[in-house]
Amino acid sequence: MIPKVRKAVFPAAGLGTRFLPATKAMPKEMLPLVDKPLIQYGIEEAIQSGIHNIVIVTGRGKSAIEDHFDVSFELEHLLELRQKTETLQAVRQISDMIDVAYVRQKEALGLGHAILRAKDLVGPEPFAAVLSDDVIDAPVPCLRQLLDVYDFYGCSVLALMEVPREAISAYGVVAAEPVSHGESGTVFRVHDLVEKPKAEDAPSNLAIIGRYILTPEVFDAIETTPPGRGGEIQLTDGLRHLLRSRPIYGVKFEGKRFDAGDKLGFLQATVEFALKRQDLGGAFRDYLRSLGL
Ligand code: G1P
C-alpha cells in the first residue's frame, strides 16, 4: 500500500534579501498579502489538500511566525469582550486546524539543508514541502494535484510550470517526458534535474515550482549531496541523487502562480487576491479604474 502523506515541511529560514529593507526585522514569510501573511496561504493550501501536520524550519529572527500560529490569549479575550465574533474566528481558525512543530536551521545553507533539518520530525514517511514564496491560486489546490499523482505512483512528485527561456535560469529545471496518466500532457516522468542552469544549458522550459511530494529516501540523498549552486546544499541536486534509485514524477499543475518573494510578483499577487475578495474586490476595482491607467 502507498503510505499516506500526513506532513508538510515549510522552509522559512531564508534571509529574504530580495525584499529588503522590509525583511530586515520581519520574516518574509510574514509579509501580508491583503490581510494574511504569505506562509498562511501555503498552510491553508496544505489543509485544503488534507495535510494538517505542519513542520516549519525557522531561523534567527523568525519568532513572529511562531507567534502567528500560536494562541494569543490577550487578543482573543479582547475580541471576545468586544464581541468581534468574525475577527475572533479568523484569528482562531488557523491555529485550531493545524498541529505545528518547529525546527531551527542555524545557518542558511540552502533549501536541501533546510529540508534535511526536518528529518527527525518527519520520520520515515512521505511528506510535502512548500515554499511559501510561491503563492498559487488554483481551482484544485496545487498540493492536492501533486498528491493525486503521488497516490497513483507512490513516488516523489514535483510541481512544474513552463517558463520563458529568458527566465529559466532562476529555477530548478527538469528533463522530462509526458506519461499517459491523467489528463494528457500534464504528468511527466523526470529524467534529469538541474538547479538554475544558464538558458542555453537548460534541458527544457519546465521549471520546478515550490511544491513537492517527497519520499523519505530524499533525506539520505540530500545527506550525500555536496554544496552546489551558490555554495548551498540544493534540493534539486538531492533529487538528482534520488533519481538514481527512485523514479520521480512532475505535474504541470493547473492554476496561477505568483512569485511573491519578488517585489513585482508580490504586487501582482496583492492586486489579484484583493480583486477576488468579496469584501474588498468591488471597491478596489473602482479605485483601480479611477486611476485611468
Ligand atoms: C527554489 C529552488 C528552485 C525552484 C524555486 C521555485 O529556488 O531551489 O529549484 O525552481 O525555488 O520557486 P529559490 O527561488 O528559492 O532560489
In angstroms, the CA 177 to CA 190 distance is 7
What one-letter code names the amino acid at 10? Answer: F
In angstroms, the CA 62 to CA 84 distance is 29
Q: Residue 253 CA to chain centroid, in angstroms?
A: 14
C-alpha cell at 63: 519568532
Domain boundaries, the chain: 7-261, 263-293
Looking at per-residue confidence, does 191 or 91 come out higher?
A: 191
10 CB contacts (<8 Å, ≥6 apart)? 29, 39, 42, 43, 54, 55, 56, 57, 129, 130, 131, 132
Residues with CB under 6 A from ligand 1: 111, 131, 134, 171-172, 195, 207-210, 234-236
**pLDDT tens digits for range 188-210:** 999 999 999 999 999 999 999 99
Q: Determine the topology of domain 7-261 in CATH.
A: Spore Coat Polysaccharide Biosynthesis Protein SpsA; Chain A (3.90.550)
**pLDDT tens digits for range 233-257:** 999 999 999 999 999 999 999 999 9
Mutate to test the pocket of ligand 1, among 111, 162, 173 (most ligand atoms within 8 A of CB): 111
Classify residue 59 by its DSSP letter: -
Q: Tell me, yes or no, if the pTM score tops 0.75.
A: yes
Instruction: With H, G, I as helix, E, B as strand and everything else as coil, classify residue 249.
Output: strand
Tell me what the mean pLDDT of segment 22-48 comes to: 94
